[in-house]
Structure 1
């Protein structure tokens, strides 16, 4: 019998249906490889070859440069669907498609540089990420000044430093870094290509998201041409205004993992019949109660996630920064809901959920990582509290 599913409210037209179908096909393949890459903590080059072949890497590239120019809603849809197969792959590629969406909106790069990169994405599957975290500064969202330094030299810059949590590092040929400018109270952002002085130290050995390739990147007197300096600003100056919509790739990934855990638990409950029962455990009242709790969390989280994405898409660019609180709330609600969903799925499956032969224990470890992706829970709640108090004054 063919499994029947209710229509997904996130799919509203043929273009979105085609994207979802493509991502579902990819996710099915990724799911078969996920256990091996997780056990080995190996980077899934095979998954990224498939993403390149399927044209997914150009999802958010502007149409004028040959890309699909996906909306935020579409990017969220694609990321959620991929994560149902493998969370590590979805989170890793999310930094690429998200960064391109950000650059498409801000045009923070010189246009000739951005155009050339976009054409590389379309023609050869080039990717990008921004490496900002460092051992001494922690998350860049906390405002720490980078210890990586850029020194002015004839024709450009020499950069020295170490970047941590450098997701996609095994596969990228270029990336951006933030560095303090030597002898000046400024920081800069630079486009760096792999070459002399760039090396990777394989430090990524974690309990979750083990296949994202988030190793340390070492920069040892790396030369960067002058036209690859993307920005210079005073160290005390605020960050360039960014509407942050692109960061919804993060909660999209984690609710995708949760969806997969939920599906596994539903299949298990519908089929598992211990010899003490005459029917599958799905008929037991307490199991039904647990399934109901999972569905409530899933529907609430997905409704908020897509509603915020749709508001961002519908808003003029100048008004999008005002959605910062709603974007942070979406990440907070969705990730915490995902944690509850995976936990509930494991309660339904019981002790077997701890077995490495089943995917739930990997999903449980992967979804926990969402708490450590920006924005952090405390920052979101503090921001919401500040807005509430300001509205009363």
Structure 2
């Protein structure tokens, strides 16, 4: 597919030089990419090293820009194709999948509700044409936690001429060491206070990354702390700066929330599928002396694998269906995305736990990938929306729909 981009030329380029085209999207390469990512996932997990070569492959296949809108020269894929991409990448290396997800979500939000300053987005697209231009929104702070649950960030922006000067610390900054842009959620020092996302380009003077990420799972995601010490941002490079309550701010719109919930659930279902596939291979290869046949021939193991496969198929079908309905504008599907995340991530975790129970010491041996899949799939619980928030909202809605009869 041939496409053009309106991205701004780099400094020094001729004024009439055409902007480079984004890499063509090739979804047929997903199985190949899954295998390539899986080949080095254990190494990156062991070393907690950022998988740069994995992002190079994803970039070359056009996956990092899959959700860029057609008006910007992108393919503009919807949520249904995005969950397909993230499930395949999650099967290979969930760290690559997670940072890819953050980048895809940023482009998808811009496609639906344009908010970026035109020049800043054009620059991002120009970078994306030639290299993996990873982007993530940095919101979480030591005192604040996740702003989705309320509160103003401590990270502060003050005016200085034509620039904003940012100071603060962000934690759990997924992909920090590899990001080309960080969308830093911050408050101004004005009265009244305003909040927004400030586009910090890496590297920038005053920007540093503290290697704090020492996690049980997704170790290669390098979700380190980001320190901002008087980092300067042009006043034009700010997204949705307004008084608290005037804009969604830290709370995404419902469709953005559905993309996050379904996309990330698909990623972790991919992890569980990798665990299932390893389990199936193990059961075929394992031939106890007393049995004289592979474990796969025993009804007990066949039933257990059937339970795992049934649960994963059901969860995947639910995610895929809601994603397609969301693309079609079905508001009820958007509202059910949080419930799908609860069901889907629980199915993924339970599937890997069942695989561990079936394999015993073999599953927990570091030489085998099952223990890594288990550590990675546990991370599904921490993403927004978290189970307690979803279930409380669903419970309240159900109770409101079915009030007690008068006099009871």
TM-score, normalised by the number of residues in structure 2: 0.87
Determine if the alignment matches structure 1 residue 109 to structure 2 residue 109. Answer: no
Separation of aligned partners in 1, 2:358 and 2:402:
45
Q: Equivalent residue of 1:220, what SS?
A: strand
Could you say what the CA RMSD is over the residues aligned between the two structures, in angstroms? 1.8
Moved more, 157-166 or 169-178: 169-178
Task: Output the CA distance in 1 between the equivalents of 2:161 and 2:238.
Answer: 13
Q: Which residue of 2 aligns with 1:250?
A: 264
Q: Which secondary structure does the structure 2 equivalent of 1:176 belong to?
A: strand
Partner of 1:176 in structure 2?
183
Among 187, 198, 202, the residue aligned to 1:190: 198
Structure 1 pair 323/190, CA: closer, same or farther in 2 (3 Å)?
farther
Distance 2:205 2:69 in 1: 31
Q: CA deviation at 1:63?
A: 2.2
Structure 1 position 352 matched with structure 2 position 365:
no
Shift of the alpha carbon at 1:237? 4.7
Cα–Cα, structure 1 residues 358 and 136, in superposed 2: closer, same or farther, change >3 Å? Answer: same
- Rounded to whole Å, the distance in 1 between the matches of 2:223 and 2:384 is 15
Q: Deviations over 1:110-137 (max 9, x none)?
A: 3443344234323433221100100111
Comparing 305-314 and 238-247, the one that deviates more? 238-247
Provide the residue aligned with 1:10 in structure 2.
none
Provide the aligned length of Structure 1 versus Structure 2.
372
What is the Cα deviation at residue 380 of structure 1? 0.6
Is 1:288 the equivalent of 2:307? Answer: no
SS of the residue aligned with 2:58?
A: helix
- Indicate the residue corresponding to 2:293 in structure 1: 279
Q: Gaps (5+ residues) in structure 1?
A: 1-16
After TM superposition, give the deviation of residue 231 of structure 1 in Å: 1.8
Cα displacement (A) at 1:18: 5.7
Report the counterpart of residue 71 of structure 1 in structure 2: 78
Q: Does 1:25 align with 2:32?
A: yes
Separation (CA, whole Å) in 1 of partners of 2:89 and 2:282: 22
More helix per residue: 1 or 2? Answer: 1
Inter-partner Cα distance in structure 2 for 1:121 and 1:242: 27
Q: Would you say the 8 A contact 2:99–2:134 is kept in 1?
A: no
Alignment of 1:201-350 (within 5 A): 201-237=210-246, 239=248, 241-244=253-256, 245-247=258-260, 248-315=262-329, 320=331, 323-350=333-360
Residues 362-391 of structure 1, C-alpha deviations (whole Å, 9 max, x = no match) = 000000000011110000101111221232
Q: Which residue of 2 aligns with 1:369?
A: 379
Aligned partner of 1:82 among 79, 86, 89: 89
- SS of match in other structure, 2:391: helix
> Equivalent residue for 2:397?
387
Deviation at 1:282, TM superposition (A): 1.5
- The answer to whether the Cα contact below 8 Å between 2:171 and 2:223 also exists between their aligned partners in 1 is yes
Superposed CA offset, 1:258-283 (max 9, x none): 00100111111122110111321122
- Partner of 1:306: helix, strand, or coil? helix
Greater CA drift, 44-53 or 117-126: 117-126
Q: Does residue 1:148 correspond to 2:174, yes or no?
A: no
In the alignment, does 2:388 pair up with 1:378? yes
Q: Which residue of 1 aligns with 2:406?
A: none
**Unaligned residue ranges in structure 2 (runs of 5+):** 1-24, 404-408
CA distance in 1, matches of 2:120, 2:401: 42
TM-score when scaled to structure 1?
A: 0.90
Contact 1:325–1:384 at 8 Å: present in 2 too?
no
8 Å contact from structure 1 (residues 200, 217) kept in 2: yes
The CA distance in 2 between the partners of 1:193 and 1:54, in whole Å, is 24
Q: Aligned partners of 2:45 and 2:195: how far apart in 1? A: 37
User: Does residue 43 of structure 2 align to residue 43 of structure 1?
Assistant: no
CA-CA distance at 1:153 after TM superposition: 1.8
Task: Write the distance in 2 (CA, Å) between the matches of 1:314 and 1:143.
Answer: 31
